[in-house]
Amino acid sequence: MCGIVGYIGNRQAAPLLLAGLEKLEYRGYDSAGIAVLENGAVEVVKCKGRLSALAERLGKTDFGSTLGIGHTRWATHGEPNDLNSHPHISRSGKIAVVHNGIIENYIELKRFLIARGYSFISETDTEVIAHLIEYHYKGDLRKAVTAAMTDIEGSYALGVICSEQNDMFVAARKDSPLIAGIGGNEYFIASDIPAILEHTRDIYILEDKEIAVISRSGAEIFDIYGGKVVKEVFRVNWDIDAAEKSGYEHFMIKEICEEPKVVRDTISPRIRGGDISLDGTGITAESIREIDKIFIVACGTAYHAGVIGKYVIEKLARIPVETELASEFRYRDPMVGPKTLVIVISQSGETLDTMMALKESKRRGARVLSIVNVVGSSIARESDNVLYTQAGPEIAVASTKAYNAQLSAIYLIALKLAQLKGTVSGENFRNIVDNLLALPKAIEKVLGNRSDVQKYASLHYNAKSIFFIGRGLDYALSMEGSLKLKEISYIHSEAYAGGELKHGTIALIEEGTLVVCPMTQLGLREKMTGNIREVKARGAVVLAVVPESCALAEGLADHIVRIPDIDPLVAPVVAATVMQLFAYYVAVLKGCDVDKPRNLAKSVTVE
Ligand code: F6R
């Protein structure tokens, strides 16, 4: 979703802002712009489209300014066009604002401002903020932003410059990510670390309702009452290479290829002497005695990881689990209380729907354990406990390695809960631990054979519609396979439980329709052959994903992709890689913008 950068120092701001925005492209955007302070005036350059269009416009300017803010916009209020792009300026042109988030009471504020002589040229909610800050401005930009924040309802990360303040700018946040970067004698703000990592590893992570004054001599943080906040510097320990393509054609394939490492890094440090250590997660014999139910709450791919979580936790630990979409959970009066453990899953740790579900759970007295990838993110900070996935930065919009890492974390939690509850035998426990440790090698093997997947993708990349069917864990996996395919290839796709198709959707199967059938679940594979026969009888072409030793798909499926033999309980982690590769190759063959699919944003910070 929208990306923000800001700079003050002794270098030319415009190229630095542009380079920072490029590093935030992965968040998804449809227009971009910058504002700099040039000879005591705010200068804005902005336009619809990619950053290359903005670069072209900037090429015609020669700003020497060393202070500025920049923005990539993912449209919410008003279509993507030049006028609606950020930065937005106030009536006098004195103040320029970039904003990520949504102002919920903007119509009311607009009325208030119109009554005081302000007029509006864009359809955005952000323009209200620019005028509102000007309305409150009496020579102190921090105070004006703070006053505007008390009027605004909604979510925001803000960068604000003022033509009367040549040596400072102001940033603030509520429910939208924002960091301040501390360089030698230059200072930054950004929505995410990659935008400034080239310049500094030392950052402040802003908390909700904090205001940062970024000047030529440092970054000072204040609370909404004007009090100074003493903050610890957070040192980023990952390498810049982690956020680069490193020779791969796309971030997505690079990230899929990182899956063996990611799964290993998530699982191995937690397994000591054959036991699972979940220190810091709050999962103890004592705490689980108080739990009578688990909710798993998340969005998109993370939700699909949660669906697997339901199966696995219920199977191993015999605790009832409900997995729910965060956007639904919050508004339906869920039966959550002090005896509920709520597990939220989020790669970015910034997804607003998930965050709001987390807050609602806490309000109802539940304890919240989050499975999060981004260290120090909002969800991580709001949770009672965190289990970090070790996926490293995920840049491609479509989530891949983070999903495998989320599954790995879920298996650890499920197995630990089962051990503490005594619902798993010692032998079964050891067997599952061994299988978890075997996952990286199994994924490596899948990656080694990826040309098979590419071959089948080349036969079907022109398909109009592709179905995924599976039973048990394979059904949960099918949901993710289908989502991955549609989001990057724009091919219509649906996922169905193998036994459910015949209750309606089978009507859509016609001559040549591709049906992808993962068959990793022992005991359900025979049933799946029945479902495969049903679709084949209607003309479907079947691509089966089966373990090496399973002969059931032979003579039945049209295409077969083999995965290494591994315990069916953990097999979805390996089969997921096949699904991701299939979506990837289909999208590449179709010529799609794989890393930045249309209409999508990486970190979804609006409801
Ligand atoms: C799909 C995808 C999204 C995210 C969802 C939640 O590939 O990336 O469906 O999974 O927006 O995002 P996080 O995990 O950051 O909360």
Atom of ligand 1 nearest to the CA of 379: 16
Sheet of 228-229: strands edge to edge? 88-89, 95-103, 154-162, 168-174, 210-215, 218-222, 228-229
531 in any annotated domain: yes
The CATH number of whichever domain residue 233 belongs to comes to 3.60.20.10
198 in any annotated domain: yes
Q: Clarify whether residues 475 and 494 are in a common domain.
A: yes
- The residue whose C-alpha atom lies closest to atom 10 belonging to ligand 1 is 301
Q: Are 296 and 311 in contact (CB under 8 A)?
A: no
Q: Are 514 and 493 in contact (CB under 8 A)?
A: no
Residue 602 bears catalytic tag: yes
Q: Clarify whether residues 388 and 523 are in a common domain.
A: no
Q: Clarify whether residues 147 and 280 are in a common domain.
A: no
Domain of residue 73 covers 3-237
Counting Cα atoms < 13 Å in the Cβ hemisphere of 442 gives 26
Structure tokens belonging to residue 269:
């440090």
Distance 298 CA to ligand 1 centre (A): 8
Q: Clarify whether residues 200 and 259 are in a common domain.
A: no
pLDDT score recorded for residue 357: 97
Q: Give the number of other CB atoms < 10 A from CB of residue 25.
A: 20
Please state, in angstroms and rounded to a whole number, the distance separating the CA atoms of residues 603 and 347. 9
Paired sense of beta strands 41-48 and 31-38, if any: antiparallel
Please state, in angstroms and rounded to a whole number, the distance separating the CA atoms of residues 100 and 602. 13
598 in any annotated domain: no
Q: How far is CA 169 from CA 16, 154, 200, 489, in A?
A: 16, 22, 19, 41
Last residue of a domain, one of 397, 420, 446: 446
Q: Clarify whether residues 265 and 346 are in a common domain.
A: yes
Best residue among 301, 323, 489 to mutate for probing ligand 1's pocket (most ligand atoms within 8 Å of CB) is: 301
DSSP string, 60-94: T-----SEEEEEEE--SSS-SSTTTSSPEE-TTS-
Best residue among 323, 348, 486 to mutate for probing ligand 1's pocket (most ligand atoms within 8 Å of CB) is: 348
Q: How far is CA 287 from CA 133, 386, 418, 420, 494, in A?
A: 48, 15, 13, 10, 39
Q: Are 334 and 296 in contact (CB under 8 A)?
A: no
Atom of ligand 1 nearest to the CA of 351: 16
pLDDT score recorded for residue 247: 86
Q: Clarify whether residues 168 and 121 are in a common domain.
A: yes
pLDDT score recorded for residue 246: 82
Q: Clarify whether residues 441 and 453 are in a common domain.
A: no
126 in any annotated domain: yes
Our count of domains for the chain comes to 3
Please state, in angstroms and rounded to a whole number, the distance separating the CA atoms of residues 80 and 48. 6
Q: Give the number of other CB atoms < 10 A from CB of residue 7.
A: 32
Atom of ligand 1 nearest to the CA of 602: 8
Last residue of a domain, one of 411, 426, 446: 446
Please state, in angstroms and rounded to a whole number, the distance separating the CA atoms of residues 376 and 567. 34
Q: Give the number of other CB atoms < 10 A from CB of residue 493.
A: 22
pLDDT score recorded for residue 271: 96
pLDDT score recorded for residue 76: 84
605 in any annotated domain: no
Structure tokens belonging to residue 91:
């009536």
Give me the average pLDDT of each 10-residue run along the chain (607 residues): 94 97 88 96 95 94 95 89 94 96 94 96 94 98 98 95 97 94 96 93 94 97 97 85 84 97 96 93 93 97 98 98 96 94 96 95 97 92 96 94 98 97 97 98 97 97 97 98 98 96 92 97 92 96 96 94 97 98 98 91 76
Q: Are 223 and 209 in contact (CB under 8 A)?
A: yes
Burial 160-190 (b: 16+ CB within 10 A, else e): bbbbebbebbbbbbbbbbbbbbbbeebbbbb
The CATH number of whichever domain residue 279 belongs to comes to 3.40.50.10490
CB under 6 Å to ligand 1: residues? Answer: 299-302, 346-348, 351, 354, 398-399, 487, 603-604
Q: Is 241 exposed, middle or buried (0-12, 13-18, 19+ CB in 10 A)?
A: exposed
Q: Clarify whether residues 222 and 337 are in a common domain.
A: no
263 in any annotated domain: yes
Q: Clarify whether residues 63 and 205 are in a common domain.
A: yes
Q: How far is CA 505 from CA 307, 368, 481, 510, 537, in A?
A: 21, 37, 18, 11, 14
255 in any annotated domain: yes
604 in any annotated domain: no
Tokens 């020669």, residue located = 62
pTM listed for this prediction: 0.85
Q: Clarify whether residues 437 and 474 are in a common domain.
A: no
Paired sense of beta strands 202-205 and 179-182, if any: antiparallel
Q: Clarify whether residues 282 and 412 are in a common domain.
A: yes
Q: Clarify whether residues 112 and 170 are in a common domain.
A: yes
Please state, in angstroms and rounded to a whole number, the distance separating the CA atoms of residues 88 and 80. 14
Last residue of a domain, one of 446, 469, 501: 446
Distance 479 CA to ligand 1 centre (A): 13
